[in-house]
Amino acid sequence: MERAYIPTPLGITKLEGDENGLRAITVMNTEEEPTEIIPEVLEDGAYQLKEYFHGKRKDFTLDLNPQGTDFQKRVWQALLDIPFGKTTSYLELSKTLGDVKAIRAVAAANGKNPLWIVVPCHRVIGSDGSLTGYAGGLHRKKWLLDHESPVQQQSLF
């Protein structure tokens, strides 16, 4: 398993993967030193994340290899269908997966998403529009949703 640490506007991000694909992308809450030489199997992931943060990428084209239960993988796959700049609720996601009663399980699987940003769990909000739970912190969720918003806030000054 290869690892690399890259700087992003939201903190140092750790990429983990091998020839089978990216296994994890995690924003760190500690100050790791950025990796000087990115392992070849992680180069494309680092490059595409850089493009995303510079506003030049809306979709990722990476080989993914997350580890989880079959149910978690179904939820993570459904997250990939949420378009850039859009949001959905945990309830709607549960309906999409065919079981409205599974809302808590869907929320739990969403919270275990190992592929930060690429599998866009930040696009899932409460039914009332509130920013609910986010493993990376609500300030990061807000930043990501603002970054992806088709309507950019204009400054008056």
Catalytic, 29? Answer: no
At 92-108, the pLDDT tens digits run 999 999 998 999 999 99
Residue 154 lies in a domain: no
21 and 74 both lie in a single domain: no
pLDDT band at 157 (very low <50, low <70, confident <90, very high): low
Q: Domains in the chain: how many in total?
A: 2
Q: Which of 25, 106, 121, 125 is catalytic?
A: 121
18 and 82 both lie in a single domain: no
Residue 63 lies in a domain: no
6, β-bridge pairs: 13
At 2-58, the pLDDT tens digits run 999 999 999 999 999 999 999 999 999 888 899 999 999 999 999 999 999 999 999
| pTM tops 0.95, yes or no | no
Residue 58 lies in a domain: no
Exposure of 19 in the CB half-sphere (CA atoms within 13 A): 0
144 and 89 both lie in a single domain: yes
> 86 lies in which domain range?
70-148
Burial 99-117 (b: 16+ CB within 10 A, else e): eeebbeebbebbeebbbbb
H-state helical runs in the chain: 40-53, 70-79, 90-96, 103-111, 138-148
CATH number at residue 22: 3.30.160
